Amino acid sequence: MANIPGKKGVIGILTGGGDVPGLNPAIRAVTLRAIKEGYGVIGIRRGWAGLVDIVRDQQASNADHFQVLTEEIVNRIGRTGGTFLHTSRTRPSSVPDVNVPAHLRDKYKQKANDLTEEVLKNMEFLGIDYLVPIGGDDTLSYAFHLHTKGVKVIGIPKTMDNDVPGTDYCIGFSTCLTRTISLTHSLRTTAGSHERFLVIEVFGRYSGFTALLPTMAGAANRCVIPEHTFNMEHLCQLLTEDRSTNPSLYAVAIVSEGAMFEGGEMVFASEEKDMFGHKKLGGIGDVISSRLKDISPKFNNGRRINVISQRLGYMVRCGDPDAMDSIVPLAYGSIALDLIIDKKFGRMVCLHNGEYDNVPIDIITSRKKVVDVDKYYDRDRLRPLYKSFSHTPAFIITSD
């Protein structure tokens, strides 16, 4: 036992998957409210990896795997970006042999190993009564798996792609949009100076929210998203027209990393897969840029148009949270405690149509959250489609 003080029990918090601004404010919100209500709080390090790596021996040092959280600790870090608990893309139900902790290798010798039994025993060893995982659909899908094993789980949705089903908003999304718009506008000066196309690649494996909304906000002329396979010549023609009507002779396209053109496939940075079976995406922006340069003479009186290709990558997920990603985590953390106090487990906090709420956590495994192309995307013009903003959610196209 970790002997964590808490009259009403001990809450474990972890962050999994990619980092985003807003994670530390969420950890702070859960911790402060929990301590006020009489609970002890443990921060699990490196997401699910921390609960895999625990050594169940009172003499062993597990300081690398968890830490007791206090008001002083979370107040000091709660305004910053990233996650001070660290994170990983660990899936305890499918741990590769090379990632099995040394003290468990005699027991688990398969290429992929289900260590859920160890996770459950480690939670008991630490004295964790309730678990609050903060993450995207991968992290929360394993949280649902633990819920089916009897663990008292409350999930908090996080992903800058905003692709967790059941909620209009995921922690990290607003900062991602803010940075994408700002960085794209900054790059305009170079695109204009050289009279080029500017192609911006953003995150978004299956959903195009991070490309569509900045374009709606005026950051780009066109956008291509994973939900619609586009024609390269058509994109080039549209951008050439945009460029010709711009006094500075440039045009901008935002490209989701999971976008595909007709006859093409997803572009991967490597063939290596993480524990959730995902290969790392990256490079579609460069491919599109090269094709645009080759095709452009056809639509520009025989003259080639050069292209600036920029992958925003981690620039949109680093640094401090914006206002939205400082406020929403506060609310989400408080709601998580409400649910624990009310003994309503197997839930995920959410924001729906402007109101905070909660939904069953099994919604994570029910479907993918993607852009409704018929409703929000103009296939012919390769840009957002909208008619009226009346009675729409704050982020317009993000409601299920």
Question: Residue 296: helix, strand or coil by DSSP?
Answer: helix
d(CA 214, CA 92): 36
Measure the N-to-C terminal CA separation of the chain; round to a whole number of Å: 42
Outline where 315-371 has alpha helix (H): 324-341
Residue 226 structure tokens: 């994973």
d(CA 80, CA 87): 15
Q: How far is CA 375 from the centre of its chain?
A: 23
Q: How far is CA 151 from the centre of its chain?
A: 24
Q: For residue 47, is it left (φ>0), alpha (ψ between -120 and 50) or beta?
A: left
Compute the C-alpha angle 16/272/175, nearest 5°: 40
- Which residues, in sequence order, are CB contacts of 288 under 8 Å at separation 6+? 199, 224, 232, 235, 253, 255, 259, 261, 309
Amino acid at the residue 180: T
Host H or E run for residue 280 = strand 279-281
161 is catalytic: yes
Residue 228 structure tokens: 């619609």
Alpha-carbon distances of 115 from 134, 152, 277, 365, 396, rounded to whole Å:
20, 18, 17, 20, 41
d(CA 305, CA 309): 13
Q: Which of 231, 169, 175, 230 is nearest to 203 (CA)?
A: 175
Q: Which of 160, 29, 146, 43 is nearest to 91 (CA)?
A: 146
Alpha-carbon distances of 337 from 22, 127, 140, 143, 275, rounded to whole Å:
18, 18, 17, 17, 30
d(CA 302, CA 39): 71
Catalytically active residues, by annotation: 161
